[in-house]
A and B are shown apart, each in its own frame.
Chain A
Amino acid sequence: MGSFRSASDPAERSDAEPTRGDSELDTLLTMVARGDQGAFETVYDRLARPVYGLIRRVVRDPAQSEEVAQEVLLEVWRTASRFDPARGSAATWALTIAHRRAIDRVRSETAATEREQRSAASPVAVDEVAETVEATLEAERVRRCLDGLTQLQRESITLAYYGGYSYPQVAALLGTALGTIKTRIRDGLTRLRDCLGVSW
């Protein structure tokens, strides 16, 4: 952890090895864009678990999560031609869609009410994030890197990403000033990025 980079220059490039540059998935998605259903089956097999798992984290309710996952995976098929490998990996492209759709679902008014009631009844279990559902190497690595963050950085990031809260909501939940949360999310992500050796 001693080597993590200062967060003061976000434009500074990480020179760590790229993590699993998944160019195979990129290629498959390009084939999907041309209507290749066989390629889409493979893409499904590669992405369905993270897509569904991420949506489960944010949405919680299994039935709703399944609906959102179906919608997202169909959107991957439908909008594959919009994927541009020059701007990020296929996995990032698809999981960005998944996260956003999950957020759309939980930030709708009814869902917000329910969630507020739920979180009033039982405070958000931040630790839940650390207990990874499946002990994959990737999950282990991510957990290790999350452990390297300060508590406030970790809580801010996990509440925002896995919890699906906006940063003002995160600030309210943690009883911390807005500006502080903004900074902690940014610094924490920088640290996480460098710890994971993400190429960008």
Chain B
Amino acid sequence: MRLSRRQTHELAGAYALDALDGAERDRFERHLRRCPACERTVRGFAQTATALAMAAAVEPPPGLRERVLTAASVTRQAPPALAGRHGRAATRPGSGVPGRSSGGRSPWVPRVAVAIGAAGMAAAVALGAVQISTQHQLNSAVAREAQIAAVLTAPDARIATAPTSVGGTAVVVVSRTQQKMIFTSSGLPALPSAKVYELWLLGPRSARPAGLLPPPSGGRTAPLLASGVAADDKVGVTVEPAGGTSSPTTTPIVVLTLPA
């Protein structure tokens, strides 16, 4: 159906305020791609809406900053949309904003980036956490990063974050189908050399050791992979003597419930 020019101009306002639904929005977007004048109008309206948003600014809850920045540090970025039809179609006209999700995506927890390349080192770079000096280290790092990448790219990968009682934020990315998780953190205080942060899988009956966190570097701990994550496990971190222990001896600084 073709809209008259007049009808289209009238829809530009509702469109810019996201007040069009379904078929009408799709129809308007198709028209917009062929109508530079409409696109300019929508752009002006979108800038106007931005002023409305600015006027609504309020301070977000404490902790959001830390969680967002930490989640970003383990989330690979999407590649740029290349010029041409594909890139054009991938964004919403007039805004460069990625197209509306087609539904079905869990809105509760951000999906971890799905675009990690096949090369494990790409993930290593994305995670910003790998330092390599020997071929052996390189081989094991590549293998480890490939496993980490596999979790991050799992279709069911979900992220959970929580503040710890000693400061900083714990971040867990879990894939239920792979029964694996990745733990990382930001802002944890450095420990004396006789102490270490130990990761635990906390089942209903027992705690299983899941590895020692690498010492924080640049405010973050490098990602730690844990396998054998059971459906009802929670994840905890305790401070233990160097070398770690087989069961927790102190109160966890954080306990995370894994997203379903």
Q: What would 6 more interface pairs be, CB under 8 Å, given A82-B80, A188-B13?
A: A74-B68, A78-B77, A88-B96, A96-B97, A97-B97, A189-B48
Q: Which residues of A contact B46 (CB under 8 A)?
A: 88, 92, 96
Q: Which residue of B lies closest to A103 (CB)?
A: B18
- Chain B residue with the shortest CB-CB distance to A34: B77
With A66-B60, A71-B107, A81-B80 as known contacts, state yes or no: A186 contacts B13, CB within 8 Å.
yes
Does B89 make an interface contact (CB < 8 A)?
A: no
**Closest residue on chain B to residue A50 by CB atoms:** B57
| Chain A proximity of B179: nearest CB distance (Å) | 25
Q: Mark A2-39, 1 if CB is under 8 A from B, else 0.
A: 00000000110010000100000000000001010100
**Bound Cα distance from A68 to B80, whole angstroms:** 24
Residues of A close to B14: CB separation below 8 A: 160, 167, 181-182, 185-186
Given contacts A52-B60, A185-B14, contact A138 B71 (CB under 8 A): no
B residues near A10, Cβ cutoff 8 Å: 9, 12, 37, 41
- Report A-chain residues with C-beta under 8 Å of the C-beta of B67: 70
Query: How many residues on the B side are at the interface (Cβ–Cβ under 8 A)?
Result: 66
Chain A interfacial positions (CB closer than 8 Å to B):
10-11, 14, 19, 33, 35, 37, 40-41, 44-45, 48-54, 56-57, 62, 66-71, 73-75, 77-84, 87-89, 91-93, 95-101, 103-105, 107-108, 132-134, 136, 138-139, 141-143, 157, 160-162, 164-168, 170, 179, 181-183, 185-190, 192-193, 196, 198-200
- With the chains together, A105 CA to B101 CA distance in Å? 12
Question: Which of chain A's residues have a CB closer than 8 A to the CB of B49?
Answer: 92, 95-96, 99, 161, 189
Complex contact A196–B48 (CB within 8 A): yes
Binding site for A on B (CB under 8 A): 9-14, 16-21, 37, 40-41, 43-61, 64-65, 67-69, 71-73, 75-81, 90-92, 94-98, 100-101, 107-110, 113, 126, 128
> Which chain B positions have C-beta within 8 A of A48?
60, 64-65, 68
Cα of A108 to Cα of B108 in the assembled complex, Å: 12
Of A45, A98, A189, A193, the residue contacting B53 (CB under 8 A) is A98
- Known pairs A66-B64, A95-B49; A200 contacts B40 (CB<8 A): yes
Contact partners of A53 in chain B: CB under 8 A: 53, 56-58
Of the listed residues B57, B69, B94, B98, the one surrounded by the most CB atoms of chain A closer than 10 A to its CB is: B57
Say whether A142 contacts B54, CB under 8 Å.
yes
Quick one: closest B residue to A133, CB to CB? B58
Check A41–B69 contact: CB distance below 8 A.
yes
Contact status of A74 and B110, CB under 8 A, knowing A48-B60, A103-B18, A185-B17 = yes
Contacting pair B47 A198 (CB below 8 A): yes
Determine whether the beta carbon of A88 is less than 8 Å from that of B95.
Answer: yes
Q: Are B68 and A189 in contact (CB under 8 A)?
A: no
Residues of A with C-beta under 8 A to B76: 78
